Amino acid sequence: MIIIALLAFAQNITFSLVSRSRNRDNINYHIISSLLSNTVWFATFRYLVVSEMNWELFLPYTIGTVLGSVVGVKISVYIEKIFGIKA
C-alpha cells in the first residue's frame, strides 16, 4: 500500500507541474514536466493493473493524489520563481 501511495503522490506532483506548465512562457518546462508526468502515470497505472485494481489500494491512492497535488503546486511555484517563468 505504501508503494501505491508514493506512486500516486509522485503522479499528482508531476501532473500539477504539467498542468501549470501549459500556461507558462517556457516550452522546455512543459517538455520536461510532460515527460515526467507521463512516465510516472505509466508506472502508477502499471502497478494498479498488476495489482488487479484491488479496492485496498483506493484509500492510499486517493490520499497520495491529494497530497501530491498540493505539494506539486508548491514545487511548481518554486520552480517558476527560480527560473523566472511567467504565465
**39 falls in which pLDDT band (50, 70, 90)?**
very high
Say which residues have a Cβ less than 8 Å from residue 79's Cβ, sequence separation at least 6. Answer: 17, 29, 85
Q: What is the CA radius of gyration of the chain?
A: 14
Run of H or E including 29: helix 27-50
> If you average pLDDT over residues 16-32, what whole number do you get?
96
pLDDT for position 32: 97
Domain ranges across the chain: 2-83
Average pLDDT along the chain = 97
**57 falls in which pLDDT band (50, 70, 90)?**
very high
pLDDT for position 42: 98
Reported pTM: 0.92
86 φ/ψ sector (left φ>0, alpha ψ -120 to 50, else beta): beta
**Quick check: 29 and 79 in contact, CB under 8 A?**
yes
pLDDT for position 34: 97
